[in-house]
Structure 1
Amino acid sequence: MPDGRRALPARRARVPQSGDARAALGRVAGRTFLWAFLALFGLGCGWALAVPYDGFPDEARHAVRAWSAAGGEWVFHGPVLADGTPLIAAPRSLAPNAPASSACFHQHPQLSAACSPPAGLRSDAHHTVAIASGAGRYNPLYYVIVGQPLRLWPTLRGIYLARMLSNALVSALFATSLAVARTARTGRRLLSGLLVALTPVALHLSSAINPAGVEIAAAVMLWSGLVLVVDGRATSPTLIRVCGVGAAVVATVRAGGVAWLALIGCVAALGLSRRHARVLAHSLTVRRWAAVVAVALLAGVGWSAWQDPTGQALSVPPGQSRFSVIANTLNVDVWGRGEYLVKGMVGLVGFGDTSPPGIVFPLWFCACGVILFGSVALTGWRDRARLLLLIGGTAVLTLAADAGPISQGWYLSQGRYLLPVLAGVPILGSYLLAERGILDDAHMARLTRCYVVVLLPFQLITLYATMLRYQRGFPSGDPIPLMPVNPFKGDWLPPLGPQLPLVLAAAGLAGLGALIWRTASRSDTPPAPEADAVPPTHRPARAQRT
């Protein structure tokens, strides 16, 4: 132009889509969801059958809460310990180590699961014991659902059915994320980030009787839809519903979900343009789902205010100065537990005491680093601020949650607790790399296929290492102990044998890898309905000015 200004491309016309196009898009989404669900469910079944009872984090404590909630005790009214921890009366078959609230092999990786009394015995199903459970005052939503099999069969049958039910919930949420990536106009840009976000810890929790798995899966689904709505400037009712369901689940399933959701909302708001915000504000679908999320937030906040699920855990004992509390928290969480927290998001399974081979961690961190450092270094200031806000906000909230426990002489946070928020780093980062023109879609497809080859085998390796740990124990010694290698022998064996879990997990991973590989390689996604995935103003993909 004569005055030196760059001409803007003409606005893209909104072309109404026929019913056939919408039906084709629906069929693609349905097929993708089905195949992804079956693959993820198969992998989760491998975990469910391979891990002994209470081998997942706090499983016995969550199982007795599920048993009581499914029986109608949504609000706890029983006795408590001196520190306020609820004592739940439940069948001994679900609390075989009672009065202890955890199994003998917890934090003792050199011990196999054979040291623990067998769980799920029919002879113990009618013998009631009391077990301390910090989950006694948690929101009952998740527990009422997964507790139904435990209530009907407080035996091994009920335990495995409850695990499968939790696995089905998590697999459906993760599969929705992959269906979104397959059918949205620019959804393939999410795939490499999704592969990094679905860490072995996230998938190992899918079959645990523990709401953490559902929270992580719902957050991943929320991130998948939210990035496309905010950064892809989409207005699809389907994506709005995906965001609404994910946000509502995160807000209610665990006490910390409200804080995580607030941080996710801040990151999303920072990336939302005024024009697109006005478009969304005028959408009836957005207003309806905003109301649903608001109700879920009120329910989450109200339950926490009423029941106080954390009790005295977050309180700071009197007599300690604010400076000493902050200094001690930084010292413990940064210097002492920093590596543990970071590894706990990737491969430290069980109670954080079971680790895959050490090579898993640096390679997974490298895969994440390619996306994180690339998007931070090469995009504009607003994108950079959003990613840094996500990481820094998570660190601040974690330190705030740990200040009270550390001042009392223990710690609260685990790496898995951070995944609902930090899963957004690779998902958002991978999308920004393509949206800002740093990598084109062909390069993003190559990156995704590389991650399929490199990262997915680590899922099976982590399961294999976990089976060795629970079946035989990891020997301790100096300087280098000789590790077991045969997963088909041990002092403890899965009830259905060690072969079936490995076969199911391998089949699930093969199916998942094939699905993602084909999704990344193909370019035949049916067009999105009307302007559902078309931005109000189309801009060519290019790097922002820094």
Structure 2
Amino acid sequence: MNVLHRRARPLPFTGRLFLPLAFLVLAALSTLWALASPLMAVPDEPAHAIKAASVVRGELLGVSGGEQGDRATVQVPGYIASLPAQACHAYDGRITADCAPVVDADDTSLTAAETSAGNYNPMYYFLVGWPSLFMSGAPAVYAMRIVSGLIGAAFLAVSLGAAARLRRPRWPMAAAIVSITPMVLFLNGSINPNALEIVTTAALFLNLCVVLENSAALRSVRSNIVLVGVSGAVLANTRSLSLVWLALAVVVPLIMYGWKPMFAILRNRLGIAMTALIGVGCVLGLLWVLQADSLKSLTGRPVDLSRWDAAQIMLDRSFDYVSGYIGYMGWLDTPLPAGVYIFWHAAMGAVLLLGLAAPKRRDRLAVLVLVAAAIALPPILQGQVIAQLGWIWQGRYLLAVIVLLLLACGVAFRTVPFPTGPVARRAGAWLLAGTAAAQFYAFIYVLRRYTVGLEESIRWAGMFKDTAWQPPFTWPVLVTLYALVLAAGAVLAHRALFRPTPDPAAAADADGGSGAENPVVSPPANASPAAGVLAGSAGTAGRHRESGTEGH
């Protein structure tokens, strides 16, 4: 086939339905988390809720003394100003959520409130704060959470859709599923810009991979080009460190696919427009950080250590924060059960191993760049503020980079044949069932923490007796719905990964964007696994002979 007429592959299994189905599953999971978590049960959520309510009323900064750690004073409805009292259960897993007072829906008069997010970029808060303009009380806060979750679910869905459009999509899709940890969904169901920076980083990276891979036929990936521009511009204005994540999400695909495809994008009108959009977003984000001095809003207790000493200590603590990538719920007061960590540690380790063992040298280099970033950035960033803020680092602060690393590993391994035989399909079903079980265990465990507390004397049976607190619709309803949605998501993922129809991407060039397509020899349906390996090797050898290149 002429490379100029090559098109991006269609979406898997259900065609055009894959994207909306993925969105519905992710939106439902995020919404259920928004309802299951008590109000203000996410770190810093009161500050973000107050900021959102003030921004949609036109107050972008508030009044602050301008010194390190000073909170901004803003005008918000009284029920919003009272939200910090909802976090009475913070820091102690034994305290149930019934300690929180009722949110007075009638208290809508504007009153002064303090927020540590006063000088944060207002974009996220514009997106999620508008329900407070026509709703009040707890329903308004839950609505703000749900809106935030729907936005995050949309970016996660287009990330999965982008992974599915790669010529060899199965390994990237598998890595994308692993990257959606319980912590990602927990944050997605809250009022916190941390969630938005994670999902936009994923969307930017995977859509850019699709565009670079199809640089010779950009008309077929126009929607992905637009998504690159939108996700990049949004990411640039999410948090003060988001510009660093954006740089990594752009540089890593360029390492993988080379600079030549980028030149083709810069000769395309839509490509130029979306590049300009990202550029404008970066300029606006950087100007806000500099003018508003966003980093000064951080609070903490100074520690008398040099930056170098603090960086060394942080380096020693690197693995202490890994649990935060998987799930450290509440105000760092609810570590998940060991079984959840064991499953996700194994899954994330397997994905990382695939990336480090990728066939092509430049793909391995891209993965190593992200590994180095994941190791080096926390010591560097924490060391810079040790004398002003003390120890403030949390695992979730780096979650955007960890998600990016997992996705990059999946893309790096894309040229390796994905097993789709009967044994692989059965093993895949069990792995997806394990993923759903780990997600479910995390969800119900958090509900247990807030309904009956994590006292040693209280067992699971206590949830069926007199619970101290109930979420909206009660915990049995939410748990049942969560299980059903997880089951639907597992079925969707299994059909996408192990669909019985031939993979049209198998004929694509292993380089993913620079060579002509060649057929891949497929073994008969009843052939042995060894025959499949030999067939894949034959196809790869054929491509190398035609292209005159050698894989790295």
Pair in the same fold by TM > 0.5: yes
For residue 253 of structure 1, give the secondary structure of its aligned residue in structure 2: coil
Amino acid at match of 1:249: V
1:212 aligns with 2:197: no
Amino acid at match of 1:113: A
For residue 145 of structure 1, give the secondary structure of its aligned residue in structure 2: helix
Separation of aligned partners in 2, 1:95 and 1:411: 28
1:122 aligns with 2:105: yes
For residue 535 of structure 1, give the secondary structure of its aligned residue in structure 2: coil
Aligned equivalent of 2:154: 172
Separation of aligned partners in 1, 2:401 and 2:127: 25
Aligned equivalent of 1:7: none
1:258 aligns with 2:243: yes
Q: 5+ unaligned residues in a row in structure 2: which ranges? A: 518-538, 545-549
Amino acid at match of 1:46: L
Separation of aligned partners in 1, 2:502 and 2:81: 50
Deviates more, 1:422-431 or 1:165-174: 422-431
Aligned equivalent of 1:93: 79
Identify if the C-alpha distance between structure 1 residues 399 and 196 changes in structure 2 by more than 3 Å, giving closer, same or farther. same
Which of 449, 452, 469 is the aligned partner of 1:472? 452
Amino acid at match of 1:334: L
Which of 301, 326, 329 is the aligned partner of 2:286? 301
Identify if the C-alpha distance between structure 1 residues 82 and 397 changes in structure 2 by more than 3 Å, giving closer, same or farther. closer
Aligned equivalent of 2:524: none
Separation of aligned partners in 1, 2:294 and 2:73: 13
Note the 1:176-325 alignment, pairs <5 A: 176-230=158-212, 235=218, 236-311=221-296, 313=298, 324-325=306-307
Contact 2:452 2:469 in 1 (8 A): yes
Aligned equivalent of 2:469: 492
Contact 2:40 2:83 in 1 (8 A): no
Contact 2:236 2:242 in 1 (8 A): yes
Question: How much does 1:157 deviate?
Answer: 1.6
Aligned equivalent of 2:349: 369
For residue 48 of structure 1, give the secondary structure of its aligned residue in structure 2: helix
For residue 88 of structure 1, give the secondary structure of its aligned residue in structure 2: strand
Q: How far does the alpha carbon of each residue in 1:367-407 deviate from its partner, in whole angstroms, 9 at most, with x for none? A: 11112123213534322221121121233222222124433
1:62 aligns with 2:48: yes
Figure out how many residues of one structure are paired with residues of the other and give that number: 516
Contact 1:434 1:541 in 2 (8 A): no
Q: How far does the alpha carbon of each residue in 1:105-160 deviate from its partner, in whole angstroms, 9 at most, with x for none? A: 21111111122223x312433373533x2211111111112111113223112111
Separation of aligned partners in 1, 2:358 and 2:5: 34
For residue 124 of structure 1, give the secondary structure of its aligned residue in structure 2: coil
Identify if the C-alpha distance between structure 1 residues 27 and 507 changes in structure 2 by more than 3 Å, giving closer, same or farther. closer
Which of 148, 156, 159 is the aligned partner of 2:141? 159
Higher RCO, 1 vs 2 (CA within 8 Å, ≥6 residues apart): 1
Which of 378, 402, 417 is the aligned partner of 2:397? 417
Separation of aligned partners in 1, 2:181 and 2:292: 32
Separation of aligned partners in 2, 1:82 and 1:526: 56
Separation of aligned partners in 2, 1:141 and 1:72: 12
Separation of aligned partners in 1, 2:280 and 2:264: 23
Contact 2:208 2:228 in 1 (8 A): yes
Aligned equivalent of 2:19: 33
Amino acid at match of 2:315: V
Q: Over the residues paired in the alignment, what is the CA RMSD in angstroms? A: 3.4
Contact 1:264 1:390 in 2 (8 A): no
Amino acid at match of 1:284: R
Q: 5+ unaligned residues in a row in structure 1: which ranges? A: 1-10
For residue 359 of structure 1, give the secondary structure of its aligned residue in structure 2: helix
Q: Report the TM-score when normalising by structure 1.
A: 0.85
Q: How far does the alpha carbon of each residue in 1:43-88 deviate from its partner, in whole angstroms, 9 at most, with x for none? A: 1221111111101221111111000001111232356777322233
Question: How much does 1:245 deviate?
Answer: 2.0
Aligned equivalent of 1:537: 515
Aligned equivalent of 2:33: 47
Note the 1:315-354 alignment, pairs <5 A: 324-331=306-313, 333-335=314-316, 337-354=317-334
Identity of aligned residues (%): 26
Question: How much does 1:295 deviate?
Answer: 0.5
Question: How much does 1:316 deviate?
Answer: 12
1:111 aligns with 2:91: no
Separation of aligned partners in 2, 1:429 and 1:347: 21
Separation of aligned partners in 2, 1:154 and 1:180: 38
Separation of aligned partners in 1, 2:334 and 2:385: 23
Q: How far does the alpha carbon of each residue in 1:433-460 deviate from its partner, in whole angstroms, 9 at most, with x for none? A: 231x365676987775454222122111
Question: How much does 1:223 deviate?
Answer: 2.4
